[in-house]
């Protein structure tokens, strides 16, 4: 294995482990939204995509089946965190809007997790974290724009 291949393997292994551990922490939290998938949708609207968006658009962003996304959206709708308008035509998909309660649930979840995550990275200099976030963001954008997506 080349040095670059070793580095890439290490990078994506660490990302996968961190994602798994963070998701587990999110799902163990007793606060709503209950699951990481639901939180992911609320966070998507807050961090990367202004609402509204279609269920198809959300599914595309998460690279998952529309039916899986629709199930999570239905759960969020039942909790009052999103509203859903029916599709405008047979070719389109339902449109999702985040409610104020959904925005508050996302914010509350972030606030409840913040002390744990801050403690986990307390020994890492802020500049290193900022560089890491920028680098990971660039990797995500590259993956988002691959032609086979």
Domain boundaries, the chain: 3-144
Q: What angle do CA 72, 38, 104 make, to 5 degrees?
A: 130
Q: In whole angstroms, what is the distance from residue 79 CA to residue 55 CA? A: 17
Q: Which residues is 84 bridged to in the sheet?
A: 96
Q: What pLDDT score does 21 carry?
A: 87
Helix (H) or strand (E) holding 102: helix 100-120
Chain segment 78-123, per-residue pLDDT in tens: 999 999 998 877 767 889 999 999 999 999 888 888 888 888 888 9
Q: Which two structure tokens, joined as six digits, stand for 20? A: 């798994």
pTM value is: 0.78
Query: What topology is assigned to 3-144 in CATH?
Result: Arc Repressor Mutant, subunit A (1.10.10)
Q: What pLDDT score does 66 carry?
A: 93
Q: What pLDDT score does 25 carry?
A: 77
Q: What pLDDT score does 130 carry?
A: 95
């Amino acid at each position: 294995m080349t040095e670059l291949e070793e580095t890439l393997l290490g990078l994506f292994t660490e990302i996968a482990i961190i994602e798994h551990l963070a998701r587990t922490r999110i799902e163990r939290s007793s606060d709503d939204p209950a699951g990481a998938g639901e939180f992911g949708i609320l966070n998507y609207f807050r961090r990367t995509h202004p609402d509204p968006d279609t269920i198809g658009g959300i599914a595309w962003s998460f690279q998952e089946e529309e039916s899986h996304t629709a199930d999570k959206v239905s759960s969020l709708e039942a909790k009052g965190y999103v509203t859903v308008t029916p599709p405008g035509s047979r070719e389109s998909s339902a449109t999702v809007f985040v409610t104020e309660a959904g925005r508050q649930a996302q914010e509350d979840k972030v606030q409840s997790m913040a002390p744990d995550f801050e403690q986990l990275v307390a020994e890492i200099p802020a500049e290193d974290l900022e560089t890491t976030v920028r680098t990971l963001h660039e990797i995500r954008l590259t993956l988002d724009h691959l032609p086979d997506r």
